[in-house]
Amino acid sequence: CTLDSEVALRVGGDFFFDPQPGDSPVNLVLIAGGVGINPLFSILLHIADLHGYQEGKGKRHKLGTAKLYYSAKNTSELLFKKNILGLMKAFPGKITCCFHVTQQRSQICKELQPHITGK
């Protein structure tokens, strides 16, 4: 998004991401806190599958980027963090994440440090 961009937000309820091959690409911003990551992690896995399919068998889907903002008290409460880092490595620039921790008291591992904000 850029300054003055229009965005749509949805909180709670039933939601999904199911782009069709002819759809225009969209850029997703996913925001999660704590265990609220569960449905959004499923969406990230689906996006990764579509990117993998696109790279392996042609460009049926036009995909934008996916950016996840995920907050928890500390890094030990960030569910799926290793999986998310793996998705970012597998699809650089297409899937990104910024973790935010609010009450971290111990040292943050080097692998997570570039993706962590907050204290």
Domain covering 28-117 in this structure, CATH number: 3.40.50.80
Give the model confidence (pLDDT) of 61-99 as tens digits: 778 899 999 999 999 999 999 999 999 999 999 999 999
Q: Is 56 helix (H, G, I), strand (E, B) or coil?
A: helix
Q: Are strands 95-101 and 116-117 parallel, antiparallel or unpaired?
A: parallel
Here the tokens at position 87 are 């998705």
pLDDT of res. 119 = 57
pLDDT of res. 57 = 61
Residues in the chain: 119
Give the model confidence (pLDDT) of 9-67 as tens digits: 777 777 788 888 888 888 999 999 999 899 999 999 999 998 886 665 666 777 889 99
Q: Which residue has the tokens 């925001």?
A: 31
pLDDT of res. 22 = 83
In 10 A of CB 54, how many CB atoms?
15
Measure the CA–CA gap between 28 and 66, rounded to whole angstroms: 5
Quick check: 28 and 65 in contact, CB under 8 A?
Answer: yes
pLDDT of res. 89 = 95
Task: Provide the whole-model pTM.
Answer: 0.83
Domain boundaries, the chain: 28-117
